[in-house]
């Protein structure tokens, strides 16, 4: 493959490019700034872009005057038209191996890499870089010996719990100190928190509720959520990592479905909380 340097002004965007790449320009520009221009822009004999519109716009943003170019002289106009579409579409068919990806990311932890270059949002990185709950040094069900001097005072048991235990860790520890055994181990509560974090996005709640009725392909979920396929795929990866959904391949299509059948009770609980909150707000306004 022959690659040559051409003035950026000599490269022309394809006027009918069907791919919307606005959201990717900044990330690609920063990637070029950090790693260099490693992929040439592919153009036809007239200098019109076949593949690389995002790299072209990133080069403009960076103020580059020359860019690496490969001229596809061996393709017919029909092949070039098809290649434009295939180059973008085939990239969407690949998926991450969520067992190997966290290992690769972990290797970069101390490398000084700007995480924003990777294209993952903060929540996704937190999920993939979470090493899990480490084994403690003591039995989680052990209860410490009471202190020689009492800390609590008569009547403390009638105070609201929130005034005594301000977070999960304090809640857990103070109940152990008061010889009140939690229903589950600390590890169990941490595991629940990770699932709750995966649910903490309106688009993911929308996806889960839709998947309760039937399995749905990614293309249909993009219409439901109102986001591009890349964004929806990221939400699906978070939900799959949390064990809430699973997928099935049929040719090049991926269909998703809910993995557990207990979500309807969770939705009812949320609606009850919303209803009670609304009643409380209305009572204040009266």
Residue 116 belongs to some domain of the structure: no
d(CA 277, CA 281): 6
At 48, which CATH number? Answer: 3.90.1530.10
- The SS3 assignment for 140 reads coil
b/e sequence 35-71, b meaning 16+ C-beta within 10 Å: eebeebbbbbeeeebbbbbbbbbbbeeeebeebbbbb
| pLDDT exceeds 70 at position 178 | no
Domain count, the chain: 2
Tokens representing 183 are 């229903």
Sign of CA dihedral 24, 25, 31, 34: negative
Q: Other C-beta atoms within 10 Å of 102: how many?
A: 18
Tokens representing 25 are 């320009």
Whether 8 and 88 share a structural domain:
yes
User: Of 60-69, 121-130, 233-242, where does mean pLDDT reach its minimum?
Assistant: 121-130
d(CA 90, CA 253): 12
Q: Other C-beta atoms within 10 Å of 130: how many?
A: 13
Averaged pLDDT of the chain: 80
**Separation in Å, CA 72 to CA 4, 50, 75, 176:** 12, 8, 6, 71
Question: What's the average model confidence in pLDDT over 218-234?
Answer: 83
Whether 11 and 88 share a structural domain:
yes
Tokens representing 175 are 């109940």
Residue 33 belongs to some domain of the structure: yes
- Looking at residue 164, its pLDDT comes to 46
pLDDT tens per residue, range 2-22: 899 999 999 999 988 888 888
Instruction: Categorize the per-residue pLDDT at 135 as very low, low, confident or very high, splitting at 50, 70 and 90.
Output: very low
φ, ψ for residue 250 (rounded to 5)? -135, 95
The rounded percent of the chain whose pLDDT value lies above 70 is: 80
d(CA 123, CA 242): 12
Residue 136 belongs to some domain of the structure: no
pLDDT tens per residue, range 23-77: 888 889 988 988 899 999 999 999 999 999 999 999 999 999 999 999 999 999 9
- Looking at residue 4, its pLDDT comes to 93
- Looking at residue 45, its pLDDT comes to 92
Residue 201 belongs to some domain of the structure: no
Whether 9 and 89 share a structural domain:
yes
From 130, 153, 184, the end of a domain falls on 184
pLDDT tens per residue, range 103-116: 888 888 777 777 77
Domain with 27, as residue range(s), is 4-93
């Amino acid at each position: 493959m022959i690659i040559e340097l051409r003035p950026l002004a000599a490269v022309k965007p394809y006027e009918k490019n069907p791919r919307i790449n606005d959201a990717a320009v900044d990330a690609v520009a920063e990637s070029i700034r950090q790693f260099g221009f490693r992929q040439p822009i592919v153009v036809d004999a007239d200098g019109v872009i076949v593949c690389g519109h995002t790299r072209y716009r990133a080069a403009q943003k960076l103020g580059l005057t020359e860019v690496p170019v490969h001229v596809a002289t061996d393709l017919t106009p029909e092949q070039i038209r098809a290649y434009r579409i295939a180059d973008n579409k085939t990239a969407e068919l690949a998926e991450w191996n969520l067992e190997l990806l966290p290992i690769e990311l972990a290797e970069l932890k101390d490398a000084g890499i700007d995480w924003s270059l990777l294209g993952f949002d903060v929540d996704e990185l937190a999920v993939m870089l979470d090493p899990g709950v480490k084994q403690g040094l003591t039995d989680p069900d052990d209860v410490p010996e009471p202190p020689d001097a009492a800390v609590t005072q008569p009547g403390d048991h009638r105070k609201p719990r929130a005034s005594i235990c301000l977070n999960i860790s304090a809640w857990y520890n103070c109940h152990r100190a008061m010889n009140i055994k939690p229903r589950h181990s600390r590890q169990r509560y941490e595991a629940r928190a990770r699932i709750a974090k995966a649910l903490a996005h309106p688009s993911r709640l929308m996806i889960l509720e839709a998947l309760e009725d039937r399995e749905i392909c990614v293309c249909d979920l993009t219409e439901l959520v109102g986001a591009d396929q890349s964004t929806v795929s990221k939400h699906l990866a978070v939900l799959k990592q949390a064990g809430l959904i699973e997928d099935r391949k049929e040719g090049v299509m991926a269909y998703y479905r809910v993995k557990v059948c207990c979500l309807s009770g969770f939705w009812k609980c949320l609606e009850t909380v919303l209803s009670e909150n609304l009643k409380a707000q209305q009572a204040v306004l009266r």
